[in-house]
Structure 1
């Protein structure tokens, strides 16, 4: 029988019922400022914490435009016109 060792990370709840999510957990969940977390209870009574998917379309567009390069040209250059085309006379 194989056993797996799990790490134990502890955080403290403040008097205002707030908690700082430890760095190791933030990295594992890939959460950043303004991300949302969901808390789901399983049938066994355990609480599962997940990063909520971003549903804001324009926020996703903004994040992608900052992450990926976008060509600076506003129009694709298809090359020069040939000039002798005859289209439906």
Structure 2
């Protein structure tokens, strides 16, 4: 869904807020195909240029986030107490 052809150079401006925040213009979001919770990478180059690129989450990024939140197979389980038999629940 790239709306801006790769052969055309387009300048899009945005301002830095008093809290040092910048809104990514819709044209850029559409071109990079990014939205809420997606990440972008900022590459700082020696010639005073900064390049941004979409950083799509792959499976291992998601696994790492889930591991931080829930632990992994080596994480000690919580002791929930004695198991209750399920007789008569069939």
Q: Which residue of 2 aligns with 1:48?
A: 51
Aligned residue pairs total 57
Q: Given the superposition, is the C-alpha separation of residues 5 and 56 from structure 1 closer, same or farther in structure 2, using an over 3 Å criterion?
A: closer
Shift >4 Å, 4+ stretches: 56-59
Higher relative contact order (CA 8 A, sep 6+): 2
Q: Which runs of 5+ in 1 are unaligned?
A: 60-89
| Partners of 2:61 and 2:41 in 1: CA distance | 21
TM-score computed with the length of structure 2 as normaliser: 0.52
Q: Which has the larger radius of gyration?
A: 1
TM-score, normalised via structure 1 length: 0.52
CA distance in 2 between partners of 1:58 and 1:5 (Å): 33
RMSD: 2.5
